């Protein structure tokens, strides 16, 4: 320190250091920061931890974008990222991602800086009631008292309590004691000085500090929050809104054994994972796997499942369904799961419990009884599946005709090749091209657009990592989520490209996510936009049969004339516009060195 410099002690900085360093020790490796004055202590500690190589910091000026970026990181790593913001509307903008994290079972930490309690409810600037703001969706929440002291060596009671509450928040976000992982909220009120010198002990493992024991961290009841002047150790902790009884029984050590006999299918919804395919394989049962399930592969996969589930000769004879994940893409599947004559067994996954028929049995784990599979039942589904499968790949060139000495044959083959090259891309061709270009080291993110339903209807089996925010199936946050997935999956120089397939309105809804700071690592990402000039997903919904064209255009389709190439240029993205399958295949398979926006015009 120079002679003219003066040490600035800040309890806010000291507390922020204790909290964030404990998160690092607990395994949190990503901090997403939205700049703000009240949260400056957290932001400056985050910057120092990044400088030391302890964390990856991602800066986003839009809090909604920041929260969805953290959500994407949690989706990919299954460890929570911590997202940091200042007080007021900044905290409110975390809510959409918090809801998605709750319903999808994605670990997430919300760190909201706040004004001190004496400024709440008196008209102070940028101040609202932040404690309890997200209560129905939280796995854990605490409104911490204002830090009043500087611990000096990091071993005092204040730091010990912050470390303890950080551990509790991370444990809860990972799903301990609840049905699934999800969001946790720490509200952090600070008084001036909001910034000061970083403590010398920052980065020292807690085990090396003479940390005081903190035996009693029990919170008062949720309906009796502590008085503002109570001691620092009194935490206001709320419940999670995770269904009746809130804290269910822990998983049993033995899986439930599924007896053979009932005509069974396995349904894999969003985030089901490979366990669904494994059970279908062991049981000898048909596998109905949504494209966002991560289970769309294997010998028992059923193609064209929507029509088959609705077919009385197949779906009508189903007696038992075993469900993994959260099915959302097909009404036929929802209708089957709502039938009272079908036994529905739902294996607990990361998201919200499923119970469409009011009598679903929730299981922690399942296995199959020893016995002979029903080959007749499986065979009927697989024969129908083969008949329903679609090959969308371009026709191969006729090598014999191209080499023919007969002019008519050769010219005909050349014309056929030119027709393939010049073929305009439609929705099935678009989803097929993206699917074919993606491999296990890549990541594929689907937006809640019409394209994900097309993909679900026509794509075949392939074992690739897939992400989609289907907990609430919102249109918001898709690009930000994909950027979080890219940041997490490419950490440490790991290979692969993250591709996000979405519609034009989903892109425009999240256009702020295109803004990335110049100092951060450049992600390898392709945002592929099927642009039909508006929300044509409504063509397939009930409203299309009752509303007139003028009303549909005015309040549902949301037509626009946005020039996406100008957006890409403004935000520093490489841009391509492709109209043919050949050009699309080339764009998707060329080496990717950074951010690319690929626009594919589609017919309305």
Residue 151 sits in a domain whose CATH number is 3.40.50.970
Least confident piece of the model among 69-73, 187-191, 509-513, 547-551 = 547-551
Same domain, yes or no: 216 and 322: no
User: Rounded to an integer, what distance in angstroms lies between the CA atom of residue 159 and that of residue 11?
Assistant: 10
250 found inside a domain: no
Least confident piece of the model among 152-161, 367-376, 417-426, 457-466 = 417-426
Where are the extended beta strands (E) located within 358-490? 361-363, 366-368, 443-446, 466-468
Same domain, yes or no: 303 and 427: no
245 found inside a domain: no
Same domain, yes or no: 23 and 109: yes
Three-class secondary structure of residue 466 per DSSP: strand
Same domain, yes or no: 406 and 465: no
4 found inside a domain: no
- Of 80, 136, 90, which Cα lies nearest the Cα of 114? 90
Do 527 and 507 touch, CB atoms closer than 8 A? yes
Question: Mean pLDDT, the chain, as a whole number?
Answer: 88
Tokens of 218: 């029990």
pLDDT at 146 over 60: yes
246 found inside a domain: no
**Band of the pLDDT at 310, cuts 50, 70, 90?**
very high
Count: domains in the chain: 4
From 169, 203, 238, the end of a domain falls on 238
The separation between the first and the last C-alpha atoms of the chain, rounded to the nearest angstrom, is 65
pLDDT tens per residue across span 320-365: 999 999 999 999 999 999 999 999 999 988 888 889 899 999 998 9
* Residue 278 domain boundaries: 256-388
Taking the alpha carbons of 188, 190, 194, 195 in that order, is the dihedral positive or negative? negative
User: Rounded to an integer, what distance in angstroms lies between the CA atom of residue 253 and that of residue 25?
Assistant: 29
What integer pLDDT is reported at residue 5 of this predicted model? 58
pLDDT at 420 over 80: no
301 found inside a domain: yes
Tokens of 575: 């841009």
Three-class secondary structure of residue 189 per DSSP: strand
Do 521 and 592 touch, CB atoms closer than 8 A? no
Residue 294 sits in a domain whose CATH number is 3.40.50.1220
327 found inside a domain: yes
**Residue holding tokens 């450049």?**
522
User: Rounded to an integer, what distance in angstroms lies between the CA atom of residue 508 and that of residue 131?
Assistant: 32
pLDDT tens per residue across span 573-592: 999 999 999 999 999 999 99
- Of 91, 79, 28, 36, which Cα lies nearest the Cα of 57? 28
Same domain, yes or no: 175 and 219: yes
Same domain, yes or no: 455 and 307: no
Do 141 and 238 touch, CB atoms closer than 8 A? yes
How much is the pTM? 0.89
8-state DSSP, 16 = H
Same domain, yes or no: 99 and 135: yes
Same domain, yes or no: 294 and 315: yes
497 phi and psi, to 5 degrees? -120, 140
585 found inside a domain: yes
- Of 214, 210, 43, which Cα lies nearest the Cα of 113? 43
- Of 171, 158, 167, which Cα lies nearest the Cα of 212? 158
- Of 106, 19, 103, which Cα lies nearest the Cα of 69? 106
pLDDT at 1 over 70: no
114 found inside a domain: yes
Same domain, yes or no: 223 and 294: no
pLDDT at 213 over 50: no
Same domain, yes or no: 370 and 476: no
| For range 146-164, the mean pLDDT | 90
Whether residue 193 has a cis bond before it, omega within 30° of 0: yes
Same domain, yes or no: 407 and 445: no
Same domain, yes or no: 305 and 451: no
From 418, 434, 457, the end of a domain falls on 418
User: Rounded to an integer, what distance in angstroms lies between the CA atom of residue 11 and that of residue 438?
Assistant: 49
Three-class secondary structure of residue 467 per DSSP: strand
pLDDT tens per residue across span 220-257: 333 333 333 332 333 333 333 333 333 333 444 588 99
């Amino acid at each position: 320190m120079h002679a003219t410099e003066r040490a600035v002690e800040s309890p806010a900085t000291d507390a922020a250091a204790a909290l964030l360093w404990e998160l690092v020790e607990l395994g949190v490796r990503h901090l997403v920061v939205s700049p703000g004055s009240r949260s400056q202590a957290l932001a400056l500690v985050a910057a120092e931890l990044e400088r030391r190589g302890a964390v990856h910091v991602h800066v986003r000026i839009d809090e909604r974008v920041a929260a969805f970026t953290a959500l994407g990181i949690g989706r990919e790593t299954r460890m929570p990222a911590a997202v940091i913001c200042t007080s007021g509307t900044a905290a409110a903008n975390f809510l959409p991602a918090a809801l998605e994290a709750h319903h999808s079972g994605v670990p997430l930490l919300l760190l909201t800086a706040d004004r001190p309690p004496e400024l709440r409810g008196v008209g102070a600037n940028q101040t609202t009631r932040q404690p309890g703001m997200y209560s129905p969706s939280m796995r854990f929440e605490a409104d911490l008292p204002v830090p009043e002291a500087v611990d000096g060596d990091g071993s005092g009671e204040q730091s010990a309590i912050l470390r303890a509450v950080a551990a509790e928040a991370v444990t809860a976000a990972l799903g301990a004691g609840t049905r699934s992982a999800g969001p946790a909220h720490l509200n952090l009120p600070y008084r001036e000085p909001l910034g000061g010198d970083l403590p010398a002990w920052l980065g020292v493992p807690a085990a090396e500090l003479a940390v005081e024991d903190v035996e009693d961290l029990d919170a008062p009841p949720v309906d009796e929050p502590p008085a503002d002047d109570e001691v620092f150790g009194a935490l206001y902790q709320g419940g999670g809104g995770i269904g009746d009884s809130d804290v269910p029984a822990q998983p049993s050590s033995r899986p439930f054994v599924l007896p053979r006999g009932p005509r069974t299918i396995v349904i894999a919804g969003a985030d089901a994972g490979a366990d669904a395919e494994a059970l279908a394989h062991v049981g000898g049962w048909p596998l109905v796997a949504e494209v966002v399930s991560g289970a769309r592969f294997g010998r028992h996969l059923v193609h064209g499942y929507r029509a088959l589930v609705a077919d009385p000769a197949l779906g009508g004879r189903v007696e038992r369904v075993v469900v993994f994940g959260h099915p959302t893409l097909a009404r036929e599947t929802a209708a089957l799961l709502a039938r009272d004559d079908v036994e529905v067994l739902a294996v607990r996954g990361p998201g919200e419990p499923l119970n469409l028929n009011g009598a679903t049995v929730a299981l922690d784990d399942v296995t199959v009884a020893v016995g002979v599979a029903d080959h007749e039942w499986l065979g009927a589904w697989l024969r129908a599946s083969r008949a329903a499968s679609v090959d969308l790949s371009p026709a191969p060139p006729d090598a014999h005709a191209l080499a023919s000495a007969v002019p008519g044959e050769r010219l005909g083959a050349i014309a056929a090749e030119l027709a393939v090259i010049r073929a305009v891309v439609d929705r099935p061709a678009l989803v097929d091209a993206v699917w074919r270009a993606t491999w296990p080291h890549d990541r594929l993110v689907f937006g809640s657009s019409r394209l994900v339903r097309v993909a679900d209807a026509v794509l075949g089996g392939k074992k690739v990592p897939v992400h989609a925010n289907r907990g609430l199936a919102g249109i918001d946050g898709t690009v930000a989520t994909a950027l979080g997935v890219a940041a997490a999956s490419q950490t440490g120089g790991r290979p692969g490209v993250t591709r996000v397939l979405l519609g034009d309105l989903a892109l425009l809804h999240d256009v702020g996510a295109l803004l990335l700071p110049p100092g951060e690592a450049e992600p390898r990402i392709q945002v592929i936009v099927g642009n039909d000039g508006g929300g044509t997903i409504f063509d397939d919904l009930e409203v299309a049969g009752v509303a007139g064209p003028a009303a549909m255009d005015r309040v549902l389709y949301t037509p626009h004339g946005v020039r996406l190439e100008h957006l890409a240029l403004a935000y520093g993205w490489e841009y391509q516009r492709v109209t043919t399958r050949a050009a699309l295949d080339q764009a998707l398979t060329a080496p990717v060195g950074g951010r690319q926006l690929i626009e594919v015009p589609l017919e309305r």
